Amino acid sequence: MPTSRLTMTGDIGGISVNSTLTRTADGQIGHDVTLNPAKTGTLSTRTSDTEGTLTLESGHGLVDGDTIDVYWDGGRRYDVVVGTVAGDDVPISGGSGDALPAQGTAVTASKQQTIDTDFDGDLLDAIGALATARAHLGFYDTGALLVLSLDLGAAELWHWLSGGTAANPLAGKSIDYVVATQAESTSEANLKLGILYDSTV
């Protein structure tokens, strides 16, 4: 049976801390994904907290109906829907997260990439995600309902392991796919998503 091992070393409050956490289960899933660079631009028109127009770099590639995540210094809005694109002007509406920033704010916009993965949240023993750039993940169930929205800092590991004090973030959910984006425009980012699970509860 596969084993997952998480080792943490560092210091907190001037005290050295070292810990190795090990879990063994029946199966595992690993995704090593390249996230496309985001597109640069500005929020050129702000109609409301949830609606406006982005003016993006030439050749941005977004089309009507795309679902994107929008990032700016200190905030982000995800599951935003693209309206009728006119050249470099990209109208947006809806989504969740932070209210859109002030008009004229520099932003990056990233089309969501889908990661096809299937697992029962109740069977999880361990899950972890790590990206080389600021990123956002959305976990969707078999009814295409968002059940977990996850922000990742650059090179900051997010994880959950069974047997600890934290509740399973995907308990009671059957995951069908994950969407992901990154905030940086200068290069691709690497995303790693690892899952360890039991065959029976």
Query: Predicted confidence band at 1 (pLDDT cuts at 50, 70, 90)?
Result: confident
Q: Which distant-in-sequence residues (6+ apart) come within 8 Å of 30 by Cβ?
A: 192, 193, 194, 195
Instruction: In whole angstroms, give the CA distance from residue 19 to residue 55.
Output: 47
Phi-psi region of 95 (alpha: psi -120 to 50; beta: other; left: phi over 0): left
Nearest alpha carbon to residue 50 among 99, 122, 11: 99
CATH (residue range 24-35+113-197): 2.60.120
The CA distance from 45 to 24, in Å, is 52
User: Structural domain boundaries of the chain?
Assistant: 24-35+113-197, 39-111
Q: 20-79 pLDDT, tens per residue?
A: 999 999 999 999 999 999 999 999 999 999 999 999 999 999 999 999 999 999 999 999
pLDDT one-digit tens code per residue, 101-151: 999 999 999 999 999 999 999 999 999 999 999 999 999 999 999 999 999
Q: pLDDT grade, residue 201 (50/70/90)?
A: low
